[in-house]
Chains A and B, each alone.
Chain A
Amino acid sequence: MRTHHFVETYERHLALSDNPVTWSWTGALLVGLVVLPFLVGGYALSIAIAIGIAVVGAIGLNLLTGVTGLISLGQAGFLAAGCYTTALLIDDYGWSTEPALLAAGVMSALLSLLVGIPSLRLKGLYLAITTMAFSFIVTHFLLYAESITHGPYGVRIEDLDFLGLDLGSARQLYYLVLAIALITTLAALNILRTRIGRAFMAVRDHDVAARVMGISLTRYKLFAFVTSSFIVGIAGGLMAFQFRFINVDIFTVLLSVEALAMIIVGGLGSVAGAILGAAFIVLLPEITRSLLDFLPAAAAEALSIHIFEIRGLLTGLAIIVMLRIEPHGLIGLWRQTKRYWTGWPLSV
């Protein structure tokens, strides 16, 4: 059992972790992430990139839905806005990649004001439906405003480099995504330990009390929308870098539901939870696919035709199972395990 863990300064209280063991494991994980492209093949690397992008998007959504309690089914819309902004600025307007990626965040943040301001008084299901409607409007616009968005033909972008990284190489794209995911993680953790993050949580837990504490609901709900959508927009921009050819068909309601699934399965309100959940949901179909290999060839054949439906089914199943066994998600399981081993052999 671990004892004698005393904190002697307020600075140490405020540290993300004051535990050298945690820091050394985090360091080991970072080293692992840096050397990963040299250890795995192209397919695994593309999955790692997808996880990185999902992590950015999930952290963004988590700030809005997990921390501030504003349920959004509009993730696909914000991702689409970011993705198309980057792709179109590069393809049609000749922007370089760096400002085009930033513009993805800005565009998505501006659009979030458009949906945020009219829905300030909405909560729960009503907000979920409003944000879903927003997502439909975005995809509809992308499909029919052909002169701006290329409509059903989609957008293709070629040979890119970002701050000297050649994005045509999966390895270098991976490093860009990794860097942005790390920056996002750190920024989110920092926001959560200062007044802004606490105000978000206060709005979620008790909005009347939050107002009496001097928190303007209007301001902080809009802050949450803007911050969250900026991050999600960046994730959308990264999707453009990964896919190279983008089409409105990717941005379905299922994508929004999967994003919600990430933060629920990971653990609402927790940055680490969003990371775990994003990895879990992206890996889920891959795990299914490898499980299919164990089935008799005929059964595997039959099931693989329906891989898309199976994927949706598994996402739903993951949410249900998670809510049933551990409402605090994967991060809740992790904390329980940690508590058990910290207290061992006295824990029950």
Chain B
Amino acid sequence: MTAILTLDTVSKRFGGLVAVDQVSFSVPDGAIYSVIGPNGAGKTTLFNLISALFRPSEGAITFDGHRIEQARTHQLAGFGIGRTFQNLAIFSHSTVVENLLVGLHHRLKANLLTSALFWGPARREEVAARRKVEEIIDFLEIQHLRDTPVGLLSYGLQKRVELGRALATEPRLLLLDEMVSGMNSEETEDIARFILDLREAFGTTVVMVEHDMGIVMDISDRIAVLNHGALIAEGTPAEISGNQAVLEAYLGKA
């Protein structure tokens, strides 16, 4: 299987702190790929590098054959990379529909003038966008919440809207940062089901940072383990769960 995302000796230093230390791995196209590690291992920093919020101190990041480590953050959606955040990053004053519509931003073309007139193409693309958003609403089973301001929803549902907003960008690669933290087991199962379904339905590759070992071991195709910024293991769930270095990183040496 070809790799859709490749990291080649990527490092990120903040002053003297090495947050990500010469990490290399490849994510196969269509895979569900998990990045795990103890707190402070550099997982979120790694995500911020892939989504161009940070630039790596060294190393190369290749997405779909193109180098992206020097890209600007707002170009990523256009490349086909969507993401959610560890702490909620929804537009809390807007409704569910409006949040999802923002995800479609880069596919719409209206400029200030056609927007102000709301005429012809601007109106037509809004109708098409609305139709697309309804598909995502159906997919995520949040029909009843369409016009609710997202700030009023429960945490689990807010996360679901955030997932929907990332899906609205029509990503080929979806980065999920601790999607299920703080969720109960039922909500976690819902999210696991959505992740499997969306790969099935849209062929999306999923990379997730996750602390919940249940979901990681159940649905991942491959797992990368970080500790102190360095990659200490990479392989299938079965390989990882038997790996001595991983056990030591989590539990300490016997």
Residues of A within 8 A of B (CB): 10-11, 13-14, 187, 190-191, 193-199, 201-202, 204-206, 208-217, 223, 227, 269
- Complex Cα distance, B117 from A191, in Å, reads 8
Is B89 within 8 A of A209, CB to CB?
yes
- Decide if B212 is an interface residue (CB 8 Å cutoff): no
- B67 beta carbon closer than 8 Å to chain A: no
- Enumerate 14 A-B pairs (CB-CB under 8 Å) in ascending A order: A190-B117, A194-B126, A195-B108, A196-B111, A208-B89, A210-B102, A211-B73, A211-B74, A212-B74, A212-B76, A212-B82, A212-B89, A213-B77, A215-B74
- Contacts of B83 on A, CB cut-off 8 Å? 212
Contacts of B74 in A (CB 8 A): 211-212, 214-217
Q: Are the CB atoms of B91 and A194 closer together than 8 Å?
A: no
A213 near B122 with CB under 8 A, answer: no
Bitwise interface map of B from 48 to 90 toward A, beta carbon under 8 Å scored 1, else 0 = 0001010000000000000000001111111000110100011
Nearest Cβ on chain B to A228's Cβ, whole angstroms: 11
Say whether, besides A208-B89, A211-B73, A10 and B102 are in contact (CB < 8 Å): no
Q: Verify B53–A205 contact, CB threshold 8 A.
A: no
Size range of the chain B interface in the assembly: 35 or more
A14, A190, A199, A204 interface centre (most CB from chain B within 10 Å): A190
* B102 adjacent to A198 (CB under 8 Å): yes
**Cross-chain contact of A214 among B93, B106, B118 (Cβ < 8 A):** B106
Contact across chains for A213 and B127 when beta carbons are under 8 A apart: no
**Contact of B127 with A209 in the complex, beta carbons under 8 Å:** no
Tell me the dominant secondary structure on chain B's binding face: helix
The answer to whether B85 touches A202, judged by C-beta atoms less than 8 angstroms apart, is: no
Contact B127 A11 (CB under 8 A): yes
Report Cα–Cα, A198/B73, bound state, in Å. 18
Q: Which residues of the partner chain A approach B178 to less than 8 Å between Cβ atoms?
A: none
Option from B53, B105, B131 in Cβ contact (under 8 Å) with A199: B105
Please state if A205 and B126 are interface contacts (CB–CB under 8 Å): no
Query: Quick check: A191 and B98 within 8 Å, CB to CB?
Result: no
Indicate if B165 sits at the interface (CB-CB under 8 A): yes
| A206–B103 alpha-carbon span in the complex (Å) | 13
Partner of B94, one of A205, A211, A214, A217: A205
Given A216-B72, A216-B74, also A10-B105 (CB < 8 A): no
B116-A191 in contact (CB<8A)? yes
B17 contacts chain A at the CB level, 8 A cutoff = no
Which of A193, A202, A204 is B126 in contact with, Cβ under 8 Å?
Answer: A193
Q: Is B6 an interface residue (CB 8 A)?
A: no
- Residues of A with C-beta under 8 A to B110: 194-196
